[in-house]
Structures are given as C-alpha cells and as structure tokens.
Structure 1
Amino acid sequence: MKVLIVYYSTYGHVHQMAEAMAEGVRQVDGAEAVMRRVPETLPSEVLEKMGAQEAQKTFSHIPICTVEELAEADAVIFGTPTRFGNMCGQMRQFLDATGQLWAQGKLVGKVGSVFTSTATQHGGQESTILSFHISLLHQGFVIVGLPYTFQGQTRIDEITGCSPYGASTIAGGSGERLPSENELEGARFQGRHVAEITSKLSA
C-alpha cells in the first residue's frame, strides 16, 4: 500500500510537516510513505531575493513528482503553503496538469488528504485546505481530514495550528517559527489515519 506525500515548501515548514506525515504513515503495517515535491515555477533569481534558496537545499534531495505517480498511489497527501487563503501557484500548476488522469478516472476512489502552513495564526489555514478539497472531489478522491481524536487540536495552552480539515503549522511573518511538537504530532496522526483508512478501503 503506497501513500504518496506530494508537497511544495518555500522555507522548509511544509517539508518538516511532510516528514512527520511520512512518520505517521510508516506506523501502519504494510504502508509505504513516498515523499515527492511539485516542480518549482519561480526563477532562481526570485527565490534568491526571497531568501529561499538556502532553505530549499535542505530538501532538494526529494525527487520531483510526476503526474503519473498519483495514479500509482493508493492514497495521496498534499501539502501546500497558503497564498492569500488558497494553495500556492506551484501546486495549482501541478494539479492543472492532471486533466488526463481526470478524463480516465484514474484517481477515483483513492484517499486524498491535505495539510498546510501559513504565516499568521488566522492566515487561511482552513480556507486553503477546504478550497483544495474542491480539486480532490473533482478527481473522485475520498477525502480524509484530521479527526478530533487527535486531541492536540483542542488545546488552548499554546498557539497552534491543526483543524479537523487537516494538520497545519504557523510559520510567523518572516518564517521564523518552526513547526511545534503539537503540530508535528498532528501531522503524524493524520499520516497514520490516512494509512489506516486506506488499508480498510483496500481490504
């Protein structure tokens, strides 16, 4: 059973959450976690001005995803930073290239799930995931979120991401905040939950 984790990360926050997702997936017997990045669309000079090039070197070893790999997976967990309350352009462009899979119904019945990162506490974490679900529903994915059995999303003793729609982290205005242990645990929980649901559906 293959769970594909496909993400875009600018400064590494989504990458760290993706790694935690993979940890959760691997906690389920027979589940394989495969991490992939979507192609970059920004020129290198723009990334340099953004200060993102150094950060991206830390996960440049993760292979670039091909559209065909989506059809080969039993489940796909998508990770994207928020751009004005929606997915980033890199992820949008990747999904827009899946028209052939849609025409052939290749993704119908697969489990789909989403996680995200925002700069601020209310910067579109929920709207990004919910609007992402629209694309998954068009492809026929069976959507899985982050249930309240992950009790870390109910805590009020610290500022934290995560909602019933999916795990999330808060990066800070300058990206200075790294994912907290609670947010990483939410990602692990979601990865495990996706793998468990996929296993049941496969059976």
Structure 2
Amino acid sequence: MTTVAIPYHSGYGHTEVLAQKVAEGVRDAGQTPVLLKIENAAQDFAPLIEEITKADAVIFGAPTYMGDVSGVFKVFADATASAWFTGAWKDKLAAGFTNSHSFAGDKLHALNSLAILAAQHGMNWVSLGVPAPAVTAAERGPDSLNRVGAFLGLAAQSDNASPEITPPAGDRETARLLGERVAKAAVRWAVGASAAADLGKAA
C-alpha cells in the first residue's frame, strides 16, 4: 500500500474541505492519505517534512492570496530546504490544489508555485486529468467538474460563506478525483520502480 502526504494550509476552512476530499480520493483508490495541516508560520515544520519524506507521493494545498500561495504556506515551502539539501523528495510524485473567492484570481500562479516547489525537489508532477465542462459558461453550475477549467492542478472557488456549503459539490468531487488519480499513479510508480530495480539486479 502506498502513502500520499497532503500538506496544506487553510486560512478560513475552505481549502481544508478540499484537503479532506483529496484524502477521500486517496482512500477510494485503496491507498493511505496522511493529512498534514500547516497551522501557522511559527510552528515546527520538521514533523511534516518527515512525514512527506516517508510518503510515496505528495499533494500540496494552499489558498490563493494576492495571486499566489498564502504566506504561511510559503514559510513552510522555504523550510523544506532541509529536505532539498539531501534530495529526500527526489523522484516522488507530486500534485497540487488551490482555492480562492474569484473564478480566476490568478490561481494558476499559485499552482505554478506549487509545481515549481515540486520541481525544485526533483519531484514528478501529476496534472489534474479532469477535462473542463464542454458547455457554455452559463451552464457551468456548482456541480460541474473542473468548472474553472484548470489543468495543472485543482483550482477551486469558494464564496464568502461557511465551509459547510462552499466550495460547491463540483469542486469537492474534482478534489476527490485528484486524490484518486495521484494515489493510482503512485501505485504504478512504485511497481515500475520495483521492476526497474529487479532489471538492474538481473543485468
């Protein structure tokens, strides 16, 4: 069984809803999610970094504030230099999700930041893999999958309301599908790595 770490920061609870749905998707794929909540910029990140190091794959999550990942998440990202120095996360699978109030909100910039963080660590990025709705903008309702049309990762949209009701069902299901996709990819990745090691021994 493979393990998928989900380190995330959530300022108001909406991104946490997505993290929980991502974890549900990992479980639906028969694998083990490890939710790692980033509480604040002053916490000790060492335990989170250790859990990520032990995991087979990672799905980073952060809200988009002012066109990029939240400042708290960025402090965590900077702290992962301790793993970068040793190459501890090299060749792991990685993916990401973000959330903001507007439909655009420069969420792509935040997803790019998450992908670049993964690239800095030598990780392999897994895209969302969910097509945008083939309907008009007016027909894209709250139940639509990938309703904002992002592909690098999950880009969700939440209103200024309770996390109990927003983000809507379509975004939550897209988050679940992302978790499921990464978990299944991690299984294939692990099998391939094992097969490659066996070939190396035979050679």
TM-score, with structure 2 as normaliser: 0.81
Q: 2:62 aligns with which of 80, 100, 114?
A: 80
The answer to whether 1:188 aligns with 2:176 is yes
2:71 pairs with 89, 92, 100, which one?
89
Runs of 4+ in 1 over 6 A off after TM superposition: none
**Residues of 1 paired with 2:9 and 2:67: CA distance?**
16
- Counterpart of 1:19, as a letter, is Q
The alignment partner of 1:164 has SS state of coil
What stretches of structure 1 of length at least 5 have no aligned partner? 43-63
CA shift, 1:154, in A, is 4.5
Q: Which residue of 1 is the match for residue 6 of structure 2?
A: 5
SS at structure 1 position matched to 2:17: helix
Contact persistence 1:8–1:90 (CA under 8 A):
yes
- What SS does the corresponding residue of 2:74 show, helix, strand or coil? helix
Task: Answer yes or no: is the 8 Å Cα contact 1:77–1:114 preserved in 2.
Answer: yes
Q: Give the letter for the 1:104 counterpart.
A: T
* Conservation of the 8 A alpha-carbon contact between 2:26 and 2:180: yes
Once residues 21 and 82 of structure 2 are traced to their aligned partners in structure 1, the CA distance between those partners, rounded to angstroms, is 31
Q: CA deviation at 1:65?
A: 5.3
Determine what percentage of the aligned residue pairs are the same residue: 28
Q: How many residues align?
A: 178
* Alignment pair present for 1:68 and 2:68: no
Tell me how far apart the structure 2 counterparts of residues 154 and 170 of structure 1 sit (CA, whole Å).
19
Structure-1 residue corresponding to 2:93: 111
User: 1:1-203 counterparts in 2 under 5 A?
Assistant: 1-29=2-30, 31-41=31-41, 66-147=48-129, 150-151=130-131, 153-155=133-135, 156=137, 157-158=139-140, 160-161=147-148, 163-172=150-159, 174-175=160-161, 178-203=166-191
> What letter corresponds to residue 18 of structure 2 in structure 1?
M
TM-score (norm 1): 0.81
RMSD in angstroms over aligned alpha carbons?
Answer: 2.0
Which ranges in structure 2 are unaligned for 5 or more consecutive residues?
Answer: 142-146, 192-203
**Alpha-carbon offset, residue 162 of structure 1:** 5.2
